[in-house]
Structure 1
Amino acid sequence: MRGQYKKILFGLGLGMAMSVSAFSVHASPITSGLFTPDAVEDYEGTPGSRTVLTTLFGGDVSVVDGSVNHRSVDAGDWIDFRSSSAIVPNSGSRFGVGYGFGSYSLDFSGLGGIFGFSGWFSAAGAGSEFIEFFGLAAESLDIVSRANGFGPGDGTMEFVSVLSTVAIGSITISGSEIASDDLAYTTSRATGQIPVPGTLLLVGLGLAGLGLQRRRRALA
């Protein structure tokens, strides 16, 4: 009977481990969340006047041109064509834009990756827009998308903030001349940010062990 009970517990534990493993394959490491930033890029230290930027955050983060490049512009120099309203910076008098309809990337690999990213975003034109997160091995982690573009369409910006359980190596921003301001990141993993599948596995194995211990006492 005792051997049979052990087999049952082993089967339950193995089944939980397999279920957890299957879940972890499909679960995204990216979740919405807030963090204390290591640095903030508010664009106030950039030249403005549609200057092409090759780095951000004081040179720590590379800007990689894709089909468009990233530029610093002055307030009043960019229009949200969804409402013909001037895009308003979240703070200060300057912000960044993807100059044209396409994508560019921010490379955080020089920092060893980041575990949190946030920023304020608004589209200049109509259309779907994406922020895609990649790991240090260039694997896609997740995508934050808006079918009608970031922001409500009146020139004001929308706040996006995410945490990741794995290091984010780069971010690609794609869409209709997306404006951005007050970008921020953290290289620290959030306290208590343990993947849920791993937590469930530990709890399940702990309960199985407790049950076995009680069974042994009852048979003694």
Structure 2
Amino acid sequence: MSDRLRLVIFDVDGTLVDSQATIVSSMAAAFAAVDHPLPDRQTLLSVVGLSLDQIYPILAPELSTTAHRQMVEAYKNTYMTERAEAGTAQTAPFYAGAKETLERLQAVDNILLGVATGKSKRGLDKLIEGHGLEGLFVTQQVADFHPSKPHPSMIRQAIQDAGVSTGDTVMVGDTSFDMEMAAAAGVPGIGVSWGYHGRDRLGAAAHMIDDFAGLPTVLQEVWGLQI
């Protein structure tokens, strides 16, 4: 195995954890806060992955900037309340094989793990704490400090943090925003079929997997490593 460091960056919601029930209920609270009709579930999930300040102008363009800010705050408050009451394992359970795959990759000396998510730092910190993932991710890129996906800023900063090259980095995610971000950053995007965007929206993905068991095989193909 080459001794070069490699970086695997993961999206969170829809990729590592299935938080759609809490996302949808928090969206409902956001729309209720401004007395605006709630879009259907598929429409709500179609924008997951974008930063919150980008979501509401898309879903409710006729509302004011002030209303959009109210919606963001209502969403955040509802999400945090539900998680505090039900716990992370209930509100954001791992997809099958996710934790085991993270642990398998972490055990490989030359592979580093990172996160690039539309979550806030507070939200990601709580999720990591709730799932006992402290120390797993060497770089954590969140919405607080970057333009929204698909801007490549998160990946570029993750590469810099990890001290790796673009060619030694991949992005794993479930949405078109993840795959377009990867393409914009010049790294292979590995799309997952179990998340919030269907395969038909993941055309920018360089590779696709249908379960976590397939990820090591793709990484072997990309980098020529035995994992």
**Structure 2-normalised TM-score?**
0.28
Larger helix percent = 2
**Structure 1-normalised TM-score?**
0.29
Larger strand percent = 1
